[in-house]
Structure 1
């Protein structure tokens, strides 16, 4: 129902001078979607209050409400083109009045968890990049056709929005930063198995894929209104440093059915680790923290193991933030298993001594489109040291990429074997007591036989002759170009 609306909006943004890529498309669609959602939410609250015989005071002043500036209607409920601003008037209103007004909500918010605070955060970070008021007017009319009233409508829009995030990830620019493949996330969630009443945390949540999939997994187990309320208000917690990822995460969770996401806009790594109390800790951590980044020296001082590598700092944060008995599934670059620098060795030692690192899933390159890095998933439980580690190294029989993405079926054997830590051609177990002094956890499958295909001498000679001819041709062209 809404697919054509999303396509029409994208077509208009494609013509916009201020929007040049998928990142811009998602950003601009997100702030418009958020304001439309906010209007629907306030209407629902107003109707519910009326049924109780109470008055409801809207958060947004009348002149800044969707129905006033974005989609004014006639008495018949049809678009009122006479009242609707367009052209320069519309752009001036959005840039000079609407955004500054919404940005101020952060100052008067009662807490960082309030809706007012989130409004202020979002519009303090983003800018309207739509330069043509005529294009914006057309987009607003299309957006007004979207509805957040029913669970079916939210479900359809969540799929469309996920598709936009996926395409943004595939666009290459910071792709993995915003999009972890959903089949991988769903597999991690299945293995960690979060339960209603537990808290779920992602300290670098990006587009909130882990939190959304955890919600989808857990809501199937809801048995009463109390459990439903628990999932809505006190289960999912996220933090995100970057402004665009923050709003995408908020919007993604809203569309998946969590109406007031507990996502904070903050740099997790700057928080004082020494000040973490038991009440701050979480039962479950699901994350794909950024790796390859660097943090300043003053940030590193916050951690026991000093390193500029962001992934290593996040790993220390995760271990600190887990409750005793808490469980984690974390995607991380595979070099964390084998690097011989002091920080890497110290991190592995700390993980093995303070947590039960029971499972390592080795992922082939190509899982993260365009990222070009090898990753693993570490599954661990806090509170007792590691005795044995079960490894799984899938053999898909094909190269992964944009045209051959990872599927849940690819990881079905992993999920099945992991339950009992069964050894197979693709899986094996090691003892921590057998590790060397560097705690080397490299993925070395002892059960997979590697067959080397030997070529016939005639094939090798043919290949050498072909390469010689190519070299001669290149040399001739080079000589010709010099003359």
Structure 2
């Protein structure tokens, strides 16, 4: 289903919830569990058909009569739109379905379903409203390649909250950028993947998709069962991450916790791969400051310290950072970047243009200016490959023109050449990694600019357009007039004659 079509459906459903008296903070919780049941049913049908083709027997996660697609049969109709007895439908949800789902147990999947329905409650009390919402959900179709519909649900709600003045300032990573980061970090079977700020679980789902393609044996699949780990502080994204991973067959170990509450002086469990987009613009709690190696209130800088300590030696990290983390000249930022370069090999930095986050920015506008930083722990940085993503056809990225997978193909091709150079030390591969949009910076040059890691493309000439002389004169005259007015006002306040 097209994003705009789904967004329209979501907004209509929220209108019904508004009439029910719910607040916008309730919307995402209620719609998420409802949509989860629909998508779970669709996924189960796909798996049943796949097993049938192979001549195998398939047993669904939940009993057949409780799958969303089979609900109309209970009322003798083919679709929920034909259901007439709204009270009977409401009674089925409240008295049969909910107790069943919240009592499941026996394996990881069933336990996760039980956890979901034990931690939410039905807040729609009008039977007509509940049926209308499910009738709208029945129309939602999920394409086979649309792996992130639960993430999109949360993103659309964040944007709606922003328009209504209640956004939390969160930015969820656009799907093409998630897939690109997974491709660059390239997690392998046998490695454990961690997202310490997992949000709706997008990185874990895409990492699973990437690694699943590598599976050749039953042992490989068993390793995947133990490979994915995530942490999230907020209740709603944590709930959605559980649903999102379950729907995509990811047996993720998710924990609801404040990641910054962990003492980095004794970091505990380490991971082979970390992929994450930390919270931007937040403030570290006073009680957590002692947990950091370098004290800072900045959540972004604290997150960089966190992943530096939580990745295994030889492990790899891909992290989204606002550009300020790469260039801020204050002592704490410089100190963290210096340690990053001395103890880790920063092998790639990809500069994203303003607008790359526009389509999921909750408060509208172009979203934050960010870069993607990739490093391997355990050896110092010698050279950094940079890539500047430029929107195609000279158009800026906006909500109506979001970043696409194909926009990042050139970056992937150039990086593959850079990776070959790192593996072979063959200068020919290095040449292939360079272009108008990509370049290499040596560590000595980085030290000379006080460990500033921001992208400065040497291949682009600085273009300055000066206004016409008459425009300059008019601007000066306007400013002089305003200065005279302000001076007159000040003299008036002081009791002087203008």
Q: Pick the TM interval, shorter chain.
A: 0.7 to 0.9
Q: Structure 1 residue 392 and structure 2 residue 387: aligned? A: yes
Is the Cα contact below 8 Å between 1:327 and 1:379 reproduced in 2? yes
Distance 1:180 1:141 in 2: 30
Distance 2:456 2:303 in 1: 26
What is the aligned counterpart of 1:430 among 441, 444, 447?
441
> Which ranges of structure 2 fall in alignment gaps of 5 or more residues?
359-363, 419-429, 483-498
Is the Cα contact below 8 Å between 2:434 and 2:440 reproduced in 1? yes
The count of aligned residue pairs is: 452
The more displaced of 25-34 and 11-20 is: 11-20
Q: Structure 1 residue 406 and structure 2 residue 403: aligned? A: yes
Distance 1:319 1:103, change over 3 A: farther
Distance 1:355 1:401, change over 3 A: same
Equivalent residue, structure 2, for 1:308: 297
What is the aligned counterpart of 2:177 among 166, 177, 184?
184
Query: 1:32-111 to 2 correspondence within 5 Å?
Result: 32-35=34-37, 73=74, 85=87, 90=91, 94=94
Distance 1:164 1:44 in 2: 22
Equivalent residue, structure 2, for 1:478: none
Distance 2:284 2:435 in 1: 41
Q: Secondary structure at the match of 1:207?
A: coil
Distance 1:386 1:66, change over 3 A: same
TM superposition shift of 1:177: 2.9
TM superposition shift of 1:274: 4.6
What is the aligned counterpart of 1:243 among 210, 225, 235?
235
Q: Secondary structure at the match of 2:291?
A: coil
TM superposition shift of 1:253: 2.3
Deviation sequence 1:224-270 (CA, Å, 0-9, x none): 34333433x12222111111101222222233x22533222222221
Distance 1:183 1:144 in 2: 27
What is the aligned counterpart of 1:263 among 254, 275, 291?
254
Distance 1:73 1:395, change over 3 A: closer
Equivalent residue, structure 1, for 2:215: 222
CA RMSD in angstroms, aligned pairs only:
4.6
> Which ranges of structure 1 fall in alignment gaps of 5 or more residues?
148-152, 472-483
Q: Structure 1 residue 374 and structure 2 residue 386: aligned? A: no
TM superposition shift of 1:288: 0.5
Is the Cα contact below 8 Å between 2:355 and 2:398 reproduced in 1? yes
Distance 1:222 1:310 in 2: 36
TM-score normalized by the length of structure 2 = 0.73
Distance 1:366 1:44 in 2: 36
TM superposition shift of 1:70: 7.3
Deviation sequence 1:33-64 (CA, Å, 0-9, x none): 4456778999999xx9xx999xx9x999x9xx
Equivalent residue, structure 2, for 1:136: 130
Equivalent residue, structure 1, for 2:343: 354
Query: 1:155-194 to 2 correspondence within 5 Å?
Result: 155=144, 158=147, 160-161=149-150, 163-171=152-160, 172=162, 174=167, 177=170, 179-194=172-187
Q: Secondary structure at the match of 1:425?
A: coil
TM-score normalized by the length of structure 1 = 0.75
Equivalent residue, structure 2, for 1:15: 16
Distance 1:159 1:333, change over 3 A: closer
Distance 1:44 1:77 in 2: 19
Equivalent residue, structure 1, for 2:116: 122
Is the Cα contact below 8 Å between 1:205 and 1:287 reproduced in 2? yes
TM superposition shift of 1:383: 0.7
Q: Secondary structure at the match of 1:301?
A: helix
Distance 1:394 1:35 in 2: 38
Distance 1:146 1:447 in 2: 47
TM superposition shift of 1:7: 7.0
